[in-house]
Amino acid sequence: MMLEVLTNAPLNTVQDLGRPRAVSFGVSRGGAMDRDALALGNILVGNTEDSAGLEIVFFPFKIRFRKECVFAITGAPAKVRLDSAPMPSCWSMNARAGQTLIMEAPEKGMRSYLAVSGGVDVPIVLGGRATDIKGGFGGFEGRGLQKGDLLPCGTGSLLPLPPSGMGLSALPLLPDKDGVELHLLPAAEYSEFTEQAQACLVEQPWRITTHANRVGYRLEGTMALQTRQPLSLLSHGLLPGTVQVPPSGQPIIQMADANTCGGYPKIGIIVEPELGILSQMPPGASISFRMINQEQALAQARAHRKNLRMLAAQIAATKPHILTQ
């Protein structure tokens, strides 16, 4: 089964949940910016959560199904049509061979995801199928999608869904420019920052600048964050969620394609479940931080994972009998 790309989409890429085992080799973890959205799409079509799908940030996006399959749209609620028929977000449907999926820009959120039964079957490179645009490898030829690309898909299952499909009646909440509060753990150099900087970090709002991409989000606040004295640090390991502070005093949040090492002092680490929320926020949006401790962060991560497992079980329980291709 193949998907035929009908529009040039240089920022749209094949993504899975990344390459966590390759970070020690200097390779970014990568993968979907909104990991929950991709996992949910895979659950809706009967895949494992880490199957490869499409991350779509450049609209309008058109794709043709070359063979019958089950697909799902999740993430930012784009305006979607299968041929001429509209369909909801967070929804799965059967597509017939020759049908065209058209996705218009969402009114809220930045990234939509397309999952297909069997997953997008591009080669595994360094333990994952995700596109690493910086390195030019993974995904489909190591690049964004282009008109005429034929994306291979694995063998999945066809669900005898009703014509209207199935999915979630209540959409996951998405942030907007009014702001969102993110939870932060103190990082290695937190104590090296002045008391004023520590207070400023959580007391003032921060604006996402236009310098925001898969590598990192630069923030801007009215007061810069300063260390107690100049620091000269060797480059050290980084992971998505790390909040660094360069000499400007304006923080940088490392995102999915985070640099694997760097020498700027680290003031905090965003809890992982909230990186997907951040990835859906546009430039100009406002965020704030609230410090929590390790025990609270672990409890939040466990609760988040439990909720996703429960959702997967609920979807599986409501699915009709699965027919194997």
Estimate to the nearest angstrom the gap between the alpha carbon of 278 and the chain centroid: 9
pLDDT for 91: 87
In this structure, the answer to whether residues 143 and 230 fall within a common structural domain is: no
In this structure, the answer to whether residues 119 and 235 fall within a common structural domain is: no
pLDDT for 159: 60
Say if 192 falls within a structural domain.
Answer: yes
- Across 108-254, the runs of DSSP E, i.e. the strands, are 112-116, 150-152, 157-158, 166-167, 180-186, 206-212, 216-220, 236-237, 242-244, 252-254
Domain that residue 217 falls in = 180-292
Structural domain count, the chain: 2
pLDDT for 314: 75
* CATH number, domain with residue 263: 2.40.100.10
In this structure, the answer to whether residues 62 and 155 fall within a common structural domain is: yes
pLDDT for 323: 35
Say if 80 falls within a structural domain.
Answer: yes
Say if 298 falls within a structural domain.
Answer: no
In this structure, the answer to whether residues 78 and 162 fall within a common structural domain is: yes
In this structure, the answer to whether residues 159 and 246 fall within a common structural domain is: no
In this structure, the answer to whether residues 67 and 127 fall within a common structural domain is: yes
Say if 253 falls within a structural domain.
Answer: yes
pLDDT for 155: 82
Q: Please, how many CA atoms are within 13 Å of residue 76, restricted to the half-sphere of its CB?
A: 29
In this structure, the answer to whether residues 35 and 133 fall within a common structural domain is: yes
pLDDT for 308: 83
In this structure, the answer to whether residues 40 and 185 fall within a common structural domain is: no
In this structure, the answer to whether residues 19 and 146 fall within a common structural domain is: yes
Say if 302 falls within a structural domain.
Answer: no
Say if 47 falls within a structural domain.
Answer: yes
For residues 136 and 198, what is the distance between their CA atoms, to the nearest angstrom?
A: 38
For residues 314 and 307, what is the distance between their CA atoms, to the nearest angstrom?
A: 10
pLDDT for 321: 40
In this structure, the answer to whether residues 126 and 185 fall within a common structural domain is: no
In this structure, the answer to whether residues 220 and 282 fall within a common structural domain is: yes
In this structure, the answer to whether residues 128 and 198 fall within a common structural domain is: no
Q: Tens-of-pLDDT digits for all 325 residues of the chain?
A: 689 999 998 999 999 999 999 988 889 999 999 999 999 999 899 899 999 999 999 999 999 999 999 999 999 999 999 998 999 888 889 999 999 999 999 989 999 999 999 999 999 999 999 999 989 999 999 999 999 999 999 986 666 566 666 677 656 666 666 679 999 999 999 999 999 999 999 999 999 999 999 999 999 999 999 999 988 888 888 999 999 999 999 999 999 999 999 999 999 999 988 999 999 999 999 999 999 999 999 999 999 888 888 877 777 776 554 433 3
Task: Provide the token pair at 52.
Answer: 């490869």
Say if 138 falls within a structural domain.
Answer: yes
DSSP state of 265: -
pLDDT for 313: 79
